[in-house]
């Protein structure tokens, strides 16, 4: 590292500008998304119709338009986008984070966000060169790499892995365990496993995951868990975590990401927009970290009420890395609160954000909105340092910001430094 004393700053105004610039420019690894590279064909989503029918906006549509979910689902994709556009962007002001995100995307792509004409916007998205468009979006968002969400139990997806050779190196895999850990009965039946998680079943599952890991080369394993996840419970999920996931994590040195607090299907009529949130029990995370000190855990909670205790848990377990402001928390007011309590309790030893992007261009708004909020929180911490008599250098700021936006993740999952 350069001389850490280089370019020391003692003026608050200069310091604020410097922090804003460094955070705005730092390349980031987006460590949880639902994006796919172009090689995955229809799974790789982009364009204004996909952006407007994002489930965040669909949920908001039903609060503003007379249309019922059934009527909406019977429309074609572009008709759904027409309804969303008219209701949330023409008849109402796009003030929600998800709606404002569309405006940020349009503006960043040089498309006038003041138009009501969705067809004119559609014309701009008819980019002849998809690969160039991917490069442009990654560049605007300052995203160097993304981690996907890959379901080893989805035969459509695994078929693509089998026939697709070299993947776009910017896309890394993550092995998602939801179908095994949250729907074991169905998965056991579908894949002819013994529901009772016998020794034979454990061996079969371990070998299945060894093959999937060899094929996908994931950076970590992950699962989303309900708010009532209880690691002390004597159930199939915990048996599978202890007998299959933990040994696999050890053998392949793969961290396990727990995403806790989702209540699936609170309103099934809204389909992917129908999930809700519940406060999780931090004891279960503490238990799994304590039981497996040689395994690394990434963790994010969906409830705002879990955030402070997640910071406290991370102070107790160095094998626990809190990450992101997930889903319903991915709003400036809450990102600010969460980032500030993380800086106060954890210094720079956490991963401030992931995008959860499902549609390519969402990288643009999710990262530009978050960078602004993280920079403000980080500046306030540096300002307190200044007021305490300690000046800070640009080299130190760059070191800290690089850790937050990529270094902590790279080191935690063992991804080589570029």
Residues that bind ligand HDL (CB under 6 A): 34, 149, 224, 259, 272, 327, 356, 358
**Cβ(406)–Cβ(29) under 8 Å?**
yes
Q: What does the DSSP assignment read for 330-356?
A: -SHHHHHHHHHHHHHHHTT-SB-----
- Strand boundaries in 148-291, DSSP class E: 171-176, 218-225, 256-260, 262-263, 276-277
* Count of other CB atoms within 10 angstroms of residue 11: 11
Q: Pick the closer one to ligand HDL by CB: 53 or 394.
A: 53
Contact partner, 198, from ligand HDL, Zn ion, none, Cβ < 5-8 Å per class: none
d(CA 168, CA 229): 35
Q: Pick the closer one to Zn ion by CB: 326 or 379.
A: 326
Contact partner, 406, from Zn ion, ligand HDL, none, Cβ < 5-8 Å per class: none
CB of 101 to ligand HDL, least distance (A): 12
CB of 57 to ligand HDL, least distance (A): 12
**Cβ(221)–Cβ(152) under 8 Å?**
no
Which tokens belong to 248?
């696999």
d(CA 277, CA 227): 7
Binding-site size for Zn ion (CB under 5 A) equals 1
Contact partner, 327, from ligand HDL, Zn ion, none, Cβ < 5-8 Å per class: ligand HDL
Instruction: State residue 49 phi and psi, 5-degree precision.
Output: -70, -40
Q: Which of these segments, 57-65, 94-102, 105-113, 354-362, binds Zn ion (CB under 5 A)?
A: 354-362
Q: Pick the closer one to ligand HDL by CB: 134 or 277.
A: 277
Which tokens belong to 392?
């800070």
Q: Pick the closer one to ligand HDL by CB: 55 or 124.
A: 55
Q: Pick the closer one to ligand HDL by CB: 9 or 174.
A: 174
CB of 63 to ligand HDL, least distance (A): 18
CB of 380 to ligand HDL, least distance (A): 27
Contact partner, 271, from Zn ion, ligand HDL, none, Cβ < 5-8 Å per class: none
CB of 56 to ligand HDL, least distance (A): 7
The runs of H, that is alpha helices, within 38-182 are 48-52, 55-64, 69-73, 77-84, 97-108, 118-125, 130-141, 155-163, 178-182
Q: Does 356 contact Zn ion by CB under 5 A?
A: yes
d(CA 195, CA 60): 40
Which tokens belong to 227?
């708010």
CB of 325 to Zn ion, least distance (A): 12
**3-class DSSP state for residue 220?**
strand
Contact partner, 238, from ligand HDL, Zn ion, none, Cβ < 5-8 Å per class: none
Q: Which uninterrupted H or E stretch holds 144? A: strand 143-147
Q: Which of these segments, 95-103, 277-285, 306-314, 356-364, binds Zn ion (CB under 5 A)?
A: 356-364
Contact partner, 400, from ligand HDL, Zn ion, none, Cβ < 5-8 Å per class: none
Give Cα 19 to chain centroid, integer Å.
24
Phi-psi region of 170 (alpha: psi -120 to 50; beta: other; left: phi over 0): alpha
The residue with its CB nearest to ligand HDL is: 356
CB of 224 to ligand HDL, least distance (A): 4
Q: Pick the closer one to ligand HDL by CB: 369 or 403.
A: 369
Q: Pick the closer one to ligand HDL by CB: 149 or 150.
A: 149
CB of 258 to ligand HDL, least distance (A): 11
Convert 50-76 to b/e letters by CB count within 10 Å (16 or more is b): bbbbbebbbbbbbeebeeebeebeeee
Contact partner, 161, from Zn ion, ligand HDL, none, Cβ < 5-8 Å per class: none
- Give whole-number Cα distances, 226 to 31, 181, 239, 302, 331, in Å: 21, 11, 17, 10, 21
CB of 199 to Zn ion, least distance (A): 33
Q: Pick the closer one to Zn ion by CB: 87 or 224.
A: 224
Contact partner, 224, from ligand HDL, Zn ion, none, Cβ < 5-8 Å per class: ligand HDL
Beta pairing class for 218-225 and 171-176: parallel
CB of 327 to Zn ion, least distance (A): 7
Contact partner, 272, from Zn ion, ligand HDL, none, Cβ < 5-8 Å per class: ligand HDL
- Positions in the binding site for Zn ion (CB under 5 A): 356
């Amino acid at each position: 590292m350069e001389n850490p004393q280089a370019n020391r700053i003692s003026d608050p105004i200069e310091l604020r500008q410097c922090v804003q610039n460094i955070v705005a420019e730092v390349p980031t690894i987006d460590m949880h998304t639902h994006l796919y590279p172009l090689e995955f064909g229809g799974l790789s989503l982009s364009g204004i119709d996909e952006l407007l029918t994002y489930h965040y906006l669909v949920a908001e549509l039903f609060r503003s338009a007379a249309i019922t979910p059934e009527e909406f689902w019977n429309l074609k994709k572009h008709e759904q986008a027409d309804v969303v556009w008219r209701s949330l962007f023409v008849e109402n002001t796009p003030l929600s984070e998800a709606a404002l995100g569309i405006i940020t995307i349009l503006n960043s792509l040089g498309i006038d966000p003041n138009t009501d004409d969705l067809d004119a916007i559609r014309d701009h998205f008819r980019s002849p060169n998809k690969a160039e468009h991917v490069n442009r979006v990654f560049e605007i968002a300052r995203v160097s790499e993304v981690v996907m969400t890959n379901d080893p139990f989805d035969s459509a997806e695994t078929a693509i892995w089998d026939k697709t050779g070299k993947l776009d190196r910017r896309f890394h895999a993550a092995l998602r365990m939801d179908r095994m850990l949250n729907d074991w009965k169905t998965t056991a039946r579908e894949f002819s496993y013994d529901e009772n998680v016998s020794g034979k079943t454990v061996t079969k599952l371990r070998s299945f995951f060894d093959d999937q890991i060899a094929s996908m080369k994931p950076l970590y394993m992950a699962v989303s868990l309900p708010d009532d996840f209880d690691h002390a419970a004597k159930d199939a999920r915990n048996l599978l975590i202890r007998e299959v996931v933990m040994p696999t994590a050890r053998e392949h040195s793969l961290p396990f990401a727990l995403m806790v607090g989702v209540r699936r299907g609170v309103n099934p009529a809204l389909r992917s927009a129908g999930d809700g949130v519940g406060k999780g029990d931090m004891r279960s995370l503490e238990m799994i970290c304590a039981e497996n000190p040689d395994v690394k855990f990434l963790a994010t909670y969906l409830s705002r009420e879990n955030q402070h205790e997640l910071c406290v848990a991370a102070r107790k377990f160095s094998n626990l890395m809190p990450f992101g402001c997930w889903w319903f928390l991915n709003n400036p007011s809450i990102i600010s609160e969460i980032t500030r309590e993380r800086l106060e309790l954890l210094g720079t030893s956490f991963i401030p954000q992931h995008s959860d992007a499902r549609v390519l261009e969402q990288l643009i708004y999710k990262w530009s909105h978050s960078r602004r909020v993280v920079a403000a929180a980080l500046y306030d911490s540096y300002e307190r340092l200044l007021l305490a008599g300690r000046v800070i250098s640009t080299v130190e700021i760059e070191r800290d910001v690089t850790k937050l936006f990529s270094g902590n993740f790279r080191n935690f999952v063992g991804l080589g430094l570029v």
